[in-house]
Amino acid sequence: MVSVSPVTKMGRQAQIAGILTHSSVRSQDELAELLAQRGIRVTQATLSRDLEDLGAVRLRGANGALMYALPGEPGGPGSRPGGFADAHLRVDLPTTADREAAARLSRVAAELLVAAEASANLVVVRTPAGGAQLLASAIDHAAWPSILGTVAGDDTVLVIAREPDGGAEVARSLLHIAERRG
């Protein structure tokens, strides 16, 4: 296992989100151990704050045990259908889950989005090192009808717009959301 030592809160939270997406985690102690295996040492208080910031919830799994999950993981525990409209978050959202996803995207974008540039149906979004996966996850969970999907690296997110010329509008919307500051 490669030792990862994020120097930022966003990097640590991106690691936590990755673990919760790919593993069944039943306790904060178990999560702390999984982070330690990646070279990340955290206190229980920091881990608790990170889980709250990420919106992690404890849900009952198929075996009856409680486990941590990120709300809205497509197809996963707590997943929800649909999303919100693109009108810069100014529409009434149909469900609490949609409002939470929109608020999370707004908060994460305000913190992580550095730049967004479009070409045709593609948008290249820049973040600080370690922030791309967290921002991509927030975009994906927001389930915009005009966004087909995202691909995240370390500090860059590729956002694919559904329409052949939709990249410019998606970039404008993301920049607008980031400027709102949550």
- Given a cut of 80, is residue 7 above it in pLDDT? no
Question: Which pLDDT score is estimated for 71?
Answer: 67
- Each residue of 68-78: pLDDT tens digit? 888 654 444 44
What is the C-alpha separation between 33 and 149, in angstroms, rounded?
32
Q: Is residue 80 domain-resident? A: no
Per-residue pLDDT averaged across 117-134, rounded?
Answer: 93
Give the helix ranges, DSSP H, for 41-180: 44-54, 96-112, 132-142, 167-180
**Domain identity same for 106 and 175:** yes
* Residue 83 within any structural domain of the chain: no
What pLDDT sits at residue 170? Answer: 95
* Residue entry with tokens 């990862």: 4
- Domain assignment present for residue 86? The answer is no
For residues 57 and 182, the model is more confident at 57
User: At a CB cut-off of 8 Å and minimum separation 6, what does 121 contact?
Assistant: 148, 160, 161, 162, 163, 164, 165, 166, 167
CATH number of the domain that residue 51 is part of: 1.10.10.10
Nearest to 71 by CA among 40, 41, 96: 96
pLDDT surpassing 80 at residue 83: no
Q: List pLDDT tens digits, range 158-171.
A: 999 999 999 999 99
Q: What percent of the chain has pLDDT over 70?
A: 78
Distance CA 69, CA 59 (A): 7
User: CB under 8 Å, gap of 24 or more: what pairs does 71-79 form?
Assistant: 71/97, 71/100, 71/101, 71/141, 72/97, 72/100, 72/101, 72/141, 72/143, 73/21, 73/141, 74/140, 74/141, 76/21
Question: Highest mean pLDDT: which of 12-16, 96-100, 160-164, 177-181?
Answer: 160-164
Residues 158, 140 contacting (CB under 8 angstroms): no
Asked whether residue 91 is assigned to any structural domain, the reply reads no
Which of 25-39, 131-145, 162-176 has the weakest average pLDDT?
A: 131-145
pLDDT value of position 80? 38
Q: Is residue 1 part of a domain?
A: no
Give me 58's structure tokens.
């404890």
pLDDT of 4 reads 46
Flag whether 90 is in a domain: no
Q: Which residue range(s) make up the domain with 43?
A: 9-69
| Number of Cβ atoms within 10 Å of the Cβ of 137 | 24
Number of structural domains in the chain: 2
55: left (phi over 0), alpha (psi -120 to 50) or beta: left
Note the pTM of the prediction, 2 decimals: 0.52
